[in-house]
Amino acid sequence: MSYLTLSQFLEKQDGNLTPELSQVIETIANTCKTIDQALQKGALAGVLGSAEHENVQGETQKKLDVISNDYLIDALKIHPQVGGLASEELDEFTPAQENGKYLVLFDPLDGSSNIDINMCVGTIFSILPAKNAITQAEDFMQAGVNQVAAGYVLYGPSTMMALTVGAGVVFFTFDPETQEFLLTSESISVATDTKEYAINASNQRHWEAPVQRYIEELLAGKTGPREKDFNMRWVACMVGDIHRILCRSGIFMYPYDTKDPKKAGRLRLMYEANPMSMLMEQAGGASTTGRVRILDIQPTELHQRVPVIIGSKNEVNLVTQYHN
């Protein structure tokens, strides 16, 4: 069977694609191949374990967090079409090329707590239009609806890329023999109903009443108000959990909780919530904070956090209804 390569797919110029945007996406994909190689070597390359310092989020970095971040920064800051970069791992944005047409934001290695136990991790990316010839910090403060492309690379049993350029969602699978990302699924669609949910249940005592109510109804199963049984799945890697939903529907929740009332949410708007929300909506799903559509949020800071309720539309709408 013949498969389109990523390069061949990008030549089709669907959605927001331009030759310049295609070049940026290819650079991200090629860099993720390098990250994949580092992950495959694991302990053999001495890349496991802690880097023994914290990132801007106050989280202990893994060695591969730092390595992956450096790979992406080094590849993209010299790209002629990139005006600036922002990483979850760095406090400030990184200036790139004057007159670059795009801004790239990324989480270089989502789920990095899984690295040392050889579980799935991923890279998440978001691409915005540049606003000025010389990028300023405020240029990144764009609502998620402005994204021209978004996606992730999942480093799992096989390495896969999910991509949207505003014309639906497609999957590519990395072929280690040809070193190419090959188009393996088109027109990804998330069912409106589901029987699977993903949430970190250890935070249950801190959830707000609407989420408490929703989860109690799911746990009641066939004998409860939902009149059906639900299964819980939790990967502890947003890329893994969202990939599962894109493959077979479901709902993923990292809601607001009172564990740390000063934090508006756990997940980062610019690096996680926005790109995943674009993918989900393009696949027919929905994404809210529980109160508002995520893609409509006007960012006020580079590392802004938000609650995330994302997945099958009917379930997301129900949780949002309970909040409102």
Pairing status of strand 102-110 against strand 82-87: parallel
For position 212, what pLDDT does the model report?
97
- Residue 107, annotated ligand binder? yes
Average pLDDT score over residue span 154-178 = 97
Phi/psi of residue 175, each to 5°? -95, 110
The confidence band for 7, taking pLDDT boundaries of 50, 70 and 90, is very high
Average pLDDT score over residue span 260-271 = 91
- Residue 2, annotated ligand binder? no
Average pLDDT score over residue span 226-233 = 97
Q: Does residue 53 have a pLDDT over 90?
A: no
Task: Please name the residue that has the structure tokens 């969602």.
Answer: 169
Q: Please, are residues 168 and 187 in contact by the beta-carbon 8 Å criterion?
A: yes
| Percentage of residues of the chain with pLDDT beyond 90 | 83
For position 185, what pLDDT does the model report?
97
Average pLDDT score over residue span 222-247 = 96
Q: Does residue 60 have a pLDDT over 80?
A: no
Long-range CB contacts for residues 131-138, cutoff 8 Å, separation at least 24: 132/83, 133/83, 133/98, 133/99, 134/83, 134/95, 134/98, 135/83, 135/84, 135/93, 135/95, 135/96, 135/100, 135/103, 137/92, 137/93, 137/302
- Residue 146, annotated ligand binder? no
- Residue 111, annotated ligand binder? yes
The confidence band for 160, taking pLDDT boundaries of 50, 70 and 90, is very high
For position 51, what pLDDT does the model report?
45
Beta bridge partner(s), residue 180: 175
For position 41, what pLDDT does the model report?
78
For position 167, what pLDDT does the model report?
96
Phi/psi of residue 134, each to 5°? -115, 115
| Percentage of residues of the chain with pLDDT beyond 70 | 94
Which of 29-43, 76-90, 193-207, 235-249 has the weakest average pLDDT? 29-43
For position 263, what pLDDT does the model report?
84
The confidence band for 57, taking pLDDT boundaries of 50, 70 and 90, is low
Task: Give me the chain's average pLDDT, please.
Answer: 93
Domains and CATH numbers, the chain: 6-185 (3.30.540.10), 196-323 (3.40.190.80)
Which of 46-55, 157-166, 275-284, 297-306 has the weakest average pLDDT? 46-55
Which of 45-49, 73-77, 143-147 has the weakest average pLDDT? 45-49
Average pLDDT score over residue span 93-113 = 95
Alpha-carbon torsion, ordered 3, 179, 155, 165, to 10 deg = -50
Q: Does residue 144 have a pLDDT over 60?
A: yes
- Residue 187, annotated ligand binder? no
200-220 pLDDT tens trace: 999 999 999 999 999 999 999
Q: Does residue 58 have a pLDDT over 90?
A: no
Average pLDDT score over residue span 38-51 = 63
